[in-house]
Amino acid sequence: MKILVINCGSSSLKYQLLNMIDESVIAKGLVERINLEGSMLTHKAKGQVFEFKEQIKNHSEAIKLVLNALTSEETGVIKSISEINAFGHRYVHGGEYNSAKIVNDEVMKELKENVELAPLHAPANIIGIEACQQIAKDIPNVVVFDTAFHQTMPKKAYMYAIPQHFYTEYKIRKYGFHGTSHKFVSEEAAKLMGKDIKDTKIITCHIGNGASISAINGGKCVDTTMGFTPLAGVMMGTRSGDLDPSIIEHIMKKTGWNIQETTQFLNKQCGLLGVSGFSSDSRDITEALKTNENAKLAMEMMDYTITKHVASYAGVLNGVDAIVFTAGIGENSPELREDVLDNLTYLGLEYDKKLNAETVRKPATELSTKNSKVKVYVIPTNEELVIARETKEILKI
């Protein structure tokens, strides 16, 4: 039983072919720079890395190339695409869908209606689905939404303090993102605690280039930091996170930028990159901490916004059993974890500093000590596995 998980970005396509009998990865890879100069496919299979450098004009060509790589004699792992039981697509914005969906005409129509909610990401997701439908008519497509896990938030958490018809007419509400990741690591944390997830209060910190934090009570999300779009919440690699909305008008007046330029600026030129002035990558920032004041400030600000949200979610949950760090920075930056955790000792939290310093690119690790009242875990996320599991479940295969 094999599922091909597909994650289309605006100019990229990541994929993983999973064997769902044992949840192992058979092959994976990345198509980069679609419709740009220097496009290529990097395909990892049979313990080797294969590179295909050629012009790839669109996502449809990218998918054809991936399917060729998966089936060709030299690089392939299956004899024909009919061995693939389903395509599982990562889909950024599912509006108010609370679970994955099998793609049919009606679902496709609703996805297209919701494109305006995620104009940067959704068009590429749709092209990816349509390309699969064209190339492999008999293989079902399932969409798994980044937003679905957060649909359990109560109204008081997801509504903004504006007249309610802005929600009913314009769909303006908090949706939240990275849902598959928050779901995966909270379930893993419950397993590590040896508890039924229904009896747990967990705060998950997905800190990568994009970052969000969720408060999860009994396995259900009750609040999350990203909002109507992934621009909200904590400070990120290139995104500002929360700021006073009046700043937007002021920036526009001062710079002469239009609204698109200003939104682009807040998404692409702010966060670690904007404050440090030289990099959005936390590795560069950490390296420069001792010599560069701007790097120091950028890191301090990011850690501070994360600490504030974790602490507020301990209040939202009226207590917390476990705090989980995941994604590129959460899994690999002991400095960030230390900054955050050292401000949470009032919760009765204790952790092993040496173990924290050593926990970089490791499997799931518990950082908390025996006496700690709150468990602390670093858990590598696995969004592809969640997508494949949900695809399998909904298709009952």
Catalytic residues: 146
First to last CA, the chain: 8
Largest CA distance in the chain: 60
For ligand AMP, which is the closer residue by CB, 200 or 282? 282
Residue number, 139 or 289, with CB nearest to ligand AMP:
289
Q: Within a 10 A sphere around the Cβ of 160, how many other Cβ atoms?
A: 13
Q: Does 332 bind ligand AMP (CB under 6 A)?
A: yes
Q: For the CB of residue 280, give the shortest distance to ligand AMP in the complex, in Å.
A: 6
Does position 281 interact with ligand AMP (CB under 6 A)? The reply is yes
Q: How many residues touch ligand AMP (CB under 6 A)?
A: 13
The span of 22-30, 82-90, 280-288, 308-316 binding ligand AMP (CB under 6 A) equals: 280-288
Using rule CB under 6 A, residue 356 touches ligand AMP = no
Q: Is 252 helix (H, G, I), strand (E, B) or coil?
A: helix
Q: Which residues pair with 325 in a beta bridge?
A: 205, 378
Of residues 12, 60, 68, 209, which one binds ligand AMP by CB under 6 A? 209
Nearest distance, CB of residue 210 and ligand AMP, angstroms: 6
Interatomic CA distance for residues 249 and 232, integer angstroms: 17
Please, which residue, 83 or 281, has the CB nearer to ligand AMP? Answer: 281
With CB under 6 A as the contact rule, the residue among 282, 305, 359, 368 that binds ligand AMP is 282
Q: Which residue has the tokens 């080797």?
A: 48
Our finding on whether 357 is near ligand AMP (CB under 6 A) is no
Residue 360 makes contact with ligand AMP by CB under 6 A: yes
Cα 293 to Cα 84, 122, 300, 307, distances in angstroms: 52, 38, 10, 21
- Distance between CA 265 and CA 278 in Å, rounded? 15
Nearest approach, Cβ of residue 242 and ligand AMP (Å)? 19
Q: How many CB atoms lie within 10 A of CB 386?
A: 24
**Is residue 208 a contact residue for ligand AMP (CB under 6 A)?**
yes
> Six-digit token pair at 72?
């060709």
Tell which one of 140, 241, 271, 328 touches ligand AMP (CB under 6 A): 328
Nearer to ligand AMP, 28 or 220 (CB): 28
Q: Distance between CA 119 and CA 214 in Å, rounded?
A: 24
Mask for 26-45, x = binds ligand AMP (CB under 6 A): --------------------
**Phi, psi (5° rounding) for residue 4?**
-100, 115
Give dist(CA 51, CA 58) in Å, integer: 18
CA 112 to CA 123: how far, in whole Å? 8
Is 213 one of the binding residues for ligand AMP (CB under 6 A)? Answer: no
Q: Which is nearer to ligand AMP, 94 or 208 (CB)?
A: 208
Stretch that binds ligand AMP, among 5-13, 140-148, 224-232, 328-336 (CB under 6 A): 328-336
204 contacts 214 by C-beta, under 8 angstroms: yes
Tokens of 277: 């002035």
CB of 34 to ligand AMP, least distance (A): 19
Binding-site member from 283, 293, 319, 369 for ligand AMP (CB under 6 A): 283
Phi, psi of 185 (to 5 degrees): -70, -30
Please give the residue ranges that form the binding site for ligand AMP (CB under 6 A).
208-209, 237, 281-283, 286, 327-329, 332-333, 360
